[in-house]
């Protein structure tokens, strides 16, 4: 099935039929067929706005014009023993990213505070590594407790790698609300992007988090050389796992990693990928994640019509656009920031924030990618 009106000469009515079907399924909370999901990825540029509008109807049905802001705190950066090819912190990476061991509890709480003050409703505590030791779980539990004491209405998500028996329960008991562990790609191609652990390990960790009562957050990375079928497979796997939040990342191909120079995505294809995931996971909080600035570029506002969640500020090892620019983009689109500073559904006003922080880091050899040199692990103020 290929409904494209400009790939094979089939008529635009086929695309409209497809989109009508997908909207009906999405509003009912049911999934498209795999063939329909693949067909979304193969629509033509002439149909792009129709695809975005259809996925936008599904988004607005459950999320209105609300956008949740999430804030990343990189607790421990670089020097990972795992070999995920896409990751600047991997074994053997020569990417010039920040490398530091665990932040103190005080510094982690301060970093979270910056994000919350900037409007974040969820703080994501992330550490590099295969998985936490029991001592690490104790350490992160103290951070969760510290953040919750200051911001009881803010959700805390932990992202510490593969979990062993009992660790998810201990994080939940400490007050964590969610656990993130991405599937990243399809089961069929997982061995192409990592050899030090398996797809099944990742599935098991998401299941452990869910079993402990933590909200499961799990997503994907597009642009690693995968096929359309792989993207559809991982989207369905995330649906089957019951992921409440689904971050969609677009590969940031750091110099010094095996995928350096891999720029396979176009802004249009990024939008089709988001639409496909929106249709497959119609009730999930779909999050526009790393790589949005460099891959979507001027089309970012169209993505907001389909997703209900973004990261504010910087990513783990690369810099995001200025937080003020994000808030202005949301205001320009008429979106409402969910629960910002306790004011549920606060509409953003352009220019609300007085400070614009320019990029501070080291430009990579690729335009638009700047290695993070501010925020956690540095003495420089964060982008929040
Ligand atoms: S994705 Fe996580 S486990 Fe894989 S190399 Fe990066 S930090 Fe390590």
Cβ proximity of 99 and 128 under 8 Å: no
One domain, residues 226 and 87 = yes
Whether 2 has a pLDDT exceeding 80, the answer reads no
b/e per residue 64-98 (b: at least 16 CB within 10 A): ebbbbbbbbbbbbbbebebbbbbbbbbeebebbbb
The CATH number of residue 161's host domain is 3.20.20.70
- Residue 128 CB less than 6 A away from ligand 1: yes
Whether 56 has a pLDDT exceeding 90, the answer reads yes
Find the mean pLDDT for residues 350-367: 56
Dihedral pair phi/psi, residue 334, rounded to 5°: 75, 30
Whether 30 has a pLDDT exceeding 90, the answer reads yes
pLDDT level of residue 42 (50, 70, 90 thresholds): very high
Using CA atoms, how far apart are residues 160 and 373, in angstroms rounded to an integer? 22
One domain, residues 178 and 326 = yes
**Residue-number span of the structural domain to which 222 is assigned:** 66-371
Alpha carbon of 332 to those of 271, 277, 298: distances in Å? 19, 25, 13
- Residue 89 CB less than 6 A away from ligand 1: yes
Told to judge if 324 belongs to the known catalytic residues of this protein, a careful annotator would answer no
Taking only the tens place, the pLDDT of each residue in 188-218 is: 999 999 999 999 999 999 999 999 999 999 9
Using CA atoms, how far apart are residues 278 and 283, in angstroms rounded to an integer? 8
- Residue 202 CB less than 6 A away from ligand 1: no
One domain, residues 151 and 50 = no
One domain, residues 230 and 328 = yes
- Look-up: residue for tokens 């526009």? 288
Helix (H, G, I), strand (E, B) or coil at 72: strand
Total structural domains within the chain: 2
- pTM over the 0.75 mark: yes
Taking only the tens place, the pLDDT of each residue in 222-234 is: 999 999 999 999 9
Share of the chain above pLDDT 90, in %: 83
Using CA atoms, how far apart are residues 226 and 215, in angstroms rounded to an integer? 28
Is residue 5 in some structural domain?
no
Told to judge if 57 belongs to the known catalytic residues of this protein, a careful annotator would answer no
- The string of DSSP codes covering 129-158 is SSS--HHHHHHHHHHHHHHHHH-TTSEEEE
Whether 10 has a pLDDT exceeding 80, the answer reads no
The pLDDT value recorded for residue 177 is: 98
The pLDDT value recorded for residue 219 is: 98
> What atom in ligand 1 is closest to the CA of residue 88?
6
Taking only the tens place, the pLDDT of each residue in 93-146 is: 999 999 999 999 999 999 999 999 999 999 999 999 999 999 999 999 999 999
- The string of DSSP codes covering 244-269 is SEEEEEE----TTSTTTT-----HHH
One domain, residues 157 and 206 = yes
b/e per residue 2-26 (b: at least 16 CB within 10 A): ebbbeeeeeebebbeebbeebbebb
- Residue 182 CB less than 6 A away from ligand 1: no
pLDDT level of residue 379 (50, 70, 90 thresholds): confident
The chain-wide mean pLDDT, for the chain, equals: 91
Whether 268 has a pLDDT exceeding 60, the answer reads yes
One domain, residues 345 and 308 = yes
């Amino acid at each position: 099935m290929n409904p494209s009106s400009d790939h094979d000469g089939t008529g635009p009515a086929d695309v409209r039929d497809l989109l009508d079907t997908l909207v009906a399924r999405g509003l009912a909370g049911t999934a498209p067929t795999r063939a329909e999901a693949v067909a979304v990825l193969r629509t033509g540029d002439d149909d792009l706005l129709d695809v975005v509008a259809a996925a936008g109807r599904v988004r607005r049905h459950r999320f209105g014009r609300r956008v949740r802001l999430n804030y990343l705190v990189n607790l421990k950066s670089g020097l990972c023993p795992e070999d995920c090819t896409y990751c600047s912190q991997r074994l053997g990476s020569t990417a010039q990213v920040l490398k530091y061991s665990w932040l103190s509890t005080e510094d982690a709480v301060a970093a979270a505070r910056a994000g919350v003050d900037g409007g974040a409703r969820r703080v994501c505590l992330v550490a590099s590594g295969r998985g936490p030791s029991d001592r690490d779980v104790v350490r992160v539990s103290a951070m969760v407790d510290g953040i919750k004491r200051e911001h009881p209405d803010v959700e805390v998500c932990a992202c510490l790698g593969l979990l062993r028996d009992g660790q998810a329960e201990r994080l939940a008991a400490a007050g964590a609300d969610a656990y993130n562990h991405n599937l990243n790609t399809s089961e069929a191609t997982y061995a192409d992007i990592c050899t030090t652990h398996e797809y099944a390990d990742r599935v098991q960790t998401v299941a452990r988090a869910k079993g402990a009562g933590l909200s499961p957050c799990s997503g994907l990375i597009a642009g690693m050389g995968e096929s359309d079928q792989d993207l559809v497979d991982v989207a369905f796997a995330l649906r089957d796992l019951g992921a409440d939040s689904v971050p969609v990342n677009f590969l940031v191909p750091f110099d010094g990693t095996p995928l350096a120079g891999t720029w396979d995505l176009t802004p249009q294809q990024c939008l089709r990928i988001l639409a496909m995931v929106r249709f497959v996971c119609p009730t999930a909080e779909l999050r526009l994640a790393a790589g949005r600035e460099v891959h979507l570029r001027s089309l970012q506002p169209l993505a907001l019509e389909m997703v209900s969640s973004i990261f504010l500020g910087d990513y783990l090892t690369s810099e995001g656009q200025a937080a003020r620019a994000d808030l202005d983009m949301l205001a320009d689109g008429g979106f409402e920031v969910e629960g910002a500073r306790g004011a549920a559904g606060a509409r953003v006003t352009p220019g609300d924030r007085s400070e614009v922080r320019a990029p501070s880091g080291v430009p990579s050899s690729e335009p638009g990618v700047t290695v993070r040199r501010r925020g956690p692990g540095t003495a420089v103020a964060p982008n929040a």
